C-alpha cells in the first residue's frame, strides 16, 4: 500500500433524532472527499442540517455490485470515502457490505464512527436478556417462507432481534407465535422520535394491542425472548406510553 492510499469510513447516522449525529461523525463527513449514501436526497438533507457540502455517490441495493470497482479505484487513488445509509448503522439491513468486503480483501484501511443502531436501541430498552442475542434483519414477506424462517430459530437459546414493517407486523407476530410459542417480546416503535413507545408482554398480548389499532404506523423493531425467558415480570402487557 503506498502513502497515497485512501480510507473508507463507515459512519452511523441518526435513526430519527438528528441530535444523535455525533461530533466525530460530523467531523469525518467534513473530512471525506466523497460520501457513499443510499438515497442522495435523504443524505443531502442531513448534510444541509449540519452545514456540510460534499459530493454524494449513491450506493443502494440495486447498484452496489456495480459500484465496487469504482469505489476500490477511488480508494487506491487516495480518496477518503465516507459510507452512510439512510438511517443508523450501514450494512445492518442496509447497503455497504460488498464495498467493505472488497476494501478489506484489498487490504485497504477501513475505519468507523459507530453510533445509532435501531436493533441495539430496541434490545437495550426491551427488558429482555441482552446476551446472547442474534440479529436477523427483516423476516421474509411471504407467510410460508416467514414461518420457515422462524423455525430456524426455534431451538435458539438467544434473544432474537428483527425488523418488521408496520403493515406486516401483526401477521408476522402471529406466525412467530405459532412457530415459537407465546414468548416474551418487546416491540419498539419510532425510537428516538416524538412518538417513541415500547410495547412489552407475551406475543399474544402485544398482537392484541397492535390489532386493536386502526393502523400501525412508524418504524418497528421486534425483540423476542428465548423460550427460557419465563415469568421475569408479572403478565401485563405494557406500553411506555401508558404513562
Q: How far is residue 104's CA from residue 101's CA, in Å, rounded to a whole number?
A: 5
Residue closer to ligand SAM, measured from CB, 5 or 239: 239
Cβ-contact 34, 138 below 8 angstroms: no
Does residue number 5 form part of the binding site for ligand SAM (CB under 6 A)?
A: no
Which lies closer to ligand SAM via its Cβ, residue 58 or residue 192?
A: 192
In whole angstroms, the minimum distance from the beta carbon of 33 to ligand SAM comes to: 23
* Ranges within 70-129 binding ligand SAM (CB under 6 A): 85, 87-89, 92-94, 117-119
Q: Which region, judged by CB under 6 A, interacts with ligand SAM, from 99-107, 126-134, 146-154, 188-196?
A: 188-196
Q: Say whether residue 39 binds ligand SAM (CB under 6 A).
A: no
Least gap, CB of 76 to ligand SAM (angstroms):
27
Inter-residue contact 237 to 209 (CB < 8 Å): yes
- Cβ pair 182, 202 in contact under 8 A: yes
The grid coordinates of residue 65 equal 455490485
Q: How many residues bind ligand SAM (CB under 6 A)?
A: 22
Name the pairing type of β-strands 159-164 and 220-224.
antiparallel
198 contact partners, CB below 8 Å, separation of at least 6: 122, 125, 126, 186, 187, 188, 189, 239, 240
Name the residues that contact ligand SAM, by CB under 6 A: 15-16, 85, 87-89, 92-94, 117-119, 163, 188-193, 219-221
Amino acid at each position: 500500500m503506498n502513502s497515497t492510499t485512501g480510507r473508507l469510513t463507515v459512519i452511523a447516522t441518526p435513526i430519527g433524532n438528528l441530535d444523535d449525529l455525533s461530533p466525530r461523525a460530523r467531523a469525518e463527513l467534513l473530512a471525506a472527499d466523497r460520501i457513499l449514501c443510499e438515497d442522495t436526497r435523504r443524505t443531502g438533507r442531513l448534510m444541509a442540517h449540519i452545514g456540510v457540502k460534499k459530493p454524494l455517490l449513491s450506493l443502494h441495493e440495486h447498484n452496489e455490485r456495480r459500484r465496487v470497482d469504482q469505489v476500490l479505484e477511488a480508494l487506491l487513488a487516495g480518496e477518503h470515502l465516507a459510507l452512510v445509509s439512510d438511517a443508523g448503522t450501514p450494512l445492518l439491513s442496509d447497503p455497504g457490505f460488498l464495498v467493505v468486503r472488497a476494501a478489506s480483501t484489498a487490504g485497504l484501511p477501513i475505519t468507523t464512527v459507530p453510533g445509532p443502531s435501531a436493533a441495539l436501541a430496541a434490545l437495550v430498552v426491551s427488558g429482555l436478556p441482552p446476551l446472547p442475542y442474534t440479529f436477523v434483519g427483516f423476516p421474509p414477506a411471504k407467510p410460508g417462507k416467514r414461518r420457515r424462517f422462524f423455525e430456524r430459530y426455534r431451538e435458539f437459546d438467544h434473544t432474537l432481534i428483527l425488523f418488521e414493517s408496520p403493515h406486516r407486523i401483526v401477521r408476522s407476530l402471529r406466525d412467530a407465535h405459532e412457530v415459537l410459542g407465546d414468548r416474551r417480546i418487546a416491540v419498539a416503535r419510532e425510537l428516538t422520535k416524538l412518538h417513541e413507545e415500547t410495547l412489552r408482554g407475551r406475543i399474544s398480548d402485544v398482537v392484541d394491542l397492535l390489532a386493536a389499532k386502526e393502523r400501525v404506523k412508524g418504524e418497528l423493531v421486534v425483540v423476542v425472548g428465548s423460550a427460557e425467558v419465563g415469568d421475569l415480570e408479572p403478565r401485563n402487557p405494557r406500553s411506555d406510553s401508558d404513562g
